[in-house]
Structure 1
């Protein structure tokens, strides 16, 4: 039996996470999120002089990834603020995380997060700390091998027990949740920070520390969104 979720897409029983349609922005928990295929982001975004200086310092492979991410981010910000995309800048902070400027000025009430894989790009926008991460289901075995560095015993139980479903998808979902959580905290996934974010459940996604989380899947890729409490 199939059911229809809140955004009108069909969810098949037994699948691990809800589907998300590539290229279609949606709102969740007060945040905006969108995922797109890299092959669909071939248009070069209009860059400010500051953005162009960043691009000029990148290698060819990193440049293509950076441009795809900025195009998606500019479109998301423009859609949610009802401003022209040409007025949106996305520049790196000192720690590498993205910051948003609109009309040449900072937008301190906006938090942006980006994620890339070989085939997809994702962006998330929120009024508070936000993290987004993509993890390919094909990477699940690698995630399982390095799990001891990132997942606590409790986290691992959340992956291997509970609702039956696609086990590789569960490992990918757990990794994406951890990555998204530490991005929201502006820290790194390898180290103590990730272990301090407990995964209480994968179905539905629940994290400790007052964080809100959701996980979707599309095209063999898992997308996690985490909203952290404001400090």
Structure 2
């Protein structure tokens, strides 16, 4: 099975399956995003170590939303729903039919927009050992046989796929949901159910995008 993932260029808006996707190095996101009163309230309630990554994710998401819907940056808000998933507002009102997902690692951040439920996730190849330790929780024996446990890139890509899929379902990777989303193939990725997926290499991380049809 070929698990050589295509590389994706940072900083550019990419289109796949009707979704708009952007990934960037966190060191390239130097400017703080213009925050609304509500967004400042959210970030102010976060612990200090979470604030920088939250701001990086919102900066990239606001940039992507602004390009996709042609809205001035000050009018774009990204606020959490009750379940923690991000919601897009323009001019104070939610944008109907627009779904957003955000992910970040220590080095990269990604955001995706789509007219259907979407999930995006980054997993660094250096996290493969951690994925291996919790593999029995997220993957079935048949999936582990398919993925293999000695290939860091395949493990990181598979974990990113599971994370992106549960985000698209607005669920959690820590519950029973990951076992309900079966990986049928990794290169190119194929998931069970009404889901479409793709995985790219972004620097030292794997980037997964999952679209889940309602």
TM-score range, shorter chain: over 0.9
Alignment length, in residue pairs?
Answer: 213
Counterparts of 1:31 and 1:158, CA distance in 2: 27
Q: RMSD value over aligned CA atoms? A: 1.4
SS in 2 for 1:224: strand
So what's the TM-score if we normalise by structure 2?
A: 0.96
Residue in structure 2 matched with residue 206 of structure 1 by the alignment? 190
Counterparts of 1:82 and 1:152, CA distance in 2: 43
Counterparts of 2:41 and 2:104, CA distance in 1: 21
Q: Flag the structure with more relative contact order, 1 or 2, with Cα contacts below 8 A and sequence separation at least 6.
A: 2
So what's the TM-score if we normalise by structure 1?
A: 0.89
Residue in structure 2 matched with residue 4 of structure 1 by the alignment? none
Structure 2 unpaired stretches of 5+? none
Q: Which ranges of 4 or more aligned residues in structure 1 deviate by more than 4 Å?
A: none
Counterparts of 1:208 and 1:71, CA distance in 2: 33
Residue in structure 1 matched with residue 178 of structure 2 by the alignment? 194
TM-fit CA distance, 1:191: 2.4
Structure 1 unpaired stretches of 5+? 1-13
Residue in structure 2 matched with residue 9 of structure 1 by the alignment? none
1:173 pairs, out of 157, 161, 178, with 157
Counterparts of 1:56 and 1:170, CA distance in 2: 37
Counterparts of 2:134 and 2:69, CA distance in 1: 40
